[in-house]
Amino acid sequence: MEHTPTTAPPRSLRGRVLGGLAWTGGSEVVMQVVRIVAAVALARLLAPEAYGLAAIALIFSSLVLVFSDLAFGAAIVQRKNLTELDRCSAFWISVGAGLLFTVVGIALAGPVARFYDQPDVAPLCAVLSLSFLITSLATTHEALLLRAMQYAKLERRMMVATLAAAAVGILVGVMTHAAWAIIAQQLTQATVSCALLWWYSDWRPGFRVSRESLRHLWGFSGPLVGHRLLFYVHRNADNILIGRYVGVAALGAYSLAYNIMLAPMSRIAGPVQRVLGPVLARMQDEPERIAIAWIRVVRLLAMIAVPALAGLVVVAPDFVHVVLGDRWSEAIPLIQILAWVGLLQALQSINADILQARGNTGTILRYSIVFTTIHIAGFIVGLHWGVIGVAVAYAITTTCIEPWFTWLTARSIGISPWRLVRGLRGVFEAGLIMAGGVLAMRALLVHLGIATEARFGGVVLFGVVLFGLASWWRAPDAWADLRGILADVRARRTGVPEAASPATA
């Protein structure tokens, strides 16, 4: 039996956190650059209709995130004691579920195409259903590497898979100018990632399944499966409604705006979540320590999300013209509206990880039921005003429901949610100063007749400098956290005892 202690020695844990953040942060920069290049290239190669067809297939295939491991991976990371029977049982049940959903996906490809009245969607869905099985073959290996905090292996795998997927997607896009480019990109990502996880992990499953192990694992993971399913419904309901009742071209514009605004913020939060998941599990019996980490980490995320999203609201017309091309002009108001959604979601990104570490998966499920119900109701109402109405409804419902998630998280660790609000106030004040300055600067450059490309670059640079100065004035605690991280990094290199970093204080 493997025994993982609830807490690790502070120095060891800080070192692992810093090493993990370095690897995940560095790899995320690489992957974001690759994804942005691939997304822009595919936006140039594919018409909005083709993008919309791929978006329909991805709605269906994204169920893989729900059922790929039946949330057993999260249970493996969180459990204090993990046996070989636990590992083998989780693996074989996950693979069985992956095979089942691959078959179901192929069978439902035709009905999905008929629902949208888009015959070309059927083969896309059928082929993409293979990702269920491919992903399920490596979810247990990924969870074991994450439990062991083997971040270097996990991030090398992600970088290689992302590069391979981008190359294949662009190649197929050049050859076909069709939705198959995005399908090829997704399957390549899943296949390369799976192969590398097996290569990096020395664990191999035995042919054993324990009913007792499954019962214990499912007690933790069952509510998470429900949460993931409800989150899937919420995440895709707007796309389903737009694709069915507004049109494929409108869905293409909405999907592009969604990916530009929400996906990058989730990618920024993703590395933090991957590192903090096992760390929070080790601190599950120390709520005050978790509270300090929560406030500091969210404040650092806000230092990225607030200026990026507030600035993009102002420069969205120039961004679309310069980066995406004028045929995507319909996405401009969508980008501006969804920026608020992206900001709120970025600030809530580790709430579920905290509740999970504390063993409160039932709370996560109950929140998800209310969360999904409110969002879908909003989407249905907003649909009467077309794609813009859906985006506005998304922003309104997000504003209403996300503060409750903060309150639930704060309650689980015994603090007031206002403690988090006070910790973020300075960052938001700096963001408002920056947004006002960028708006005035852009208006001045438009008045002077400066070319769009030069105006876009100049305004972005001005915004970065202005936010840096404003946050130095209004959010000194955030800069102190950054200095603490840099001091820890230098200490690790020189062997000097480390200071307390934001994630481990």
- Other Cβ atoms less than 10 A from the Cβ of 352: the count is 24
| Average pLDDT value for residue range 221-243 | 83
Percent of residues, the chain, with pLDDT higher than 70: 87
235: left (phi over 0), alpha (psi -120 to 50) or beta: alpha
CA gap 145, 142 in Å, rounded = 5
Highest mean pLDDT among 105-109, 276-280, 406-410: 406-410
Percent of residues, the chain, with pLDDT higher than 90: 32
What mean pLDDT is reported for the chain? 83
Higher pLDDT, 13 or 481: 481
The H or E element containing residue 437 is: helix 417-447
CA gap 375, 234 in Å, rounded = 7
Higher pLDDT, 29 or 467: 467
Highest mean pLDDT among 336-345, 359-368, 411-420: 411-420
386: left (phi over 0), alpha (psi -120 to 50) or beta: left
Q: Which residues of 402-434 are buried (b: 16+ CB within 10 A; e: fewer)?
A: beebbebbbebbebebeebeebbebbbbbbebb
Q: What's the pLDDT score for residue 4?
A: 38
Q: What's the pLDDT score for residue 393?
A: 94
Give the CA angle between residues 141, 143, 147 to the nearest 5°: 120
Token readout for 281 is 């599990």
HSE (side-chain half, CA atoms, 13 Å) at 225: 17
CA gap 144, 140 in Å, rounded = 6
| Average pLDDT value for residue range 89-117 | 88
Beta strands in 13-146 (DSSP E): 81-82
Q: pLDDT digits over 242-300, tens only?
A: 888 888 778 878 887 877 766 656 666 666 676 777 777 777 778 888 898 889 889 98
Q: pLDDT digits over 2-44, tens only?
A: 433 333 344 455 666 666 666 776 777 788 788 878 888 887 8
pLDDT of residue 168 exceeding 90? yes
User: 331 with 257: CB under 8 angstroms?
Assistant: yes
Q: What's the pLDDT score for residue 360?
A: 84
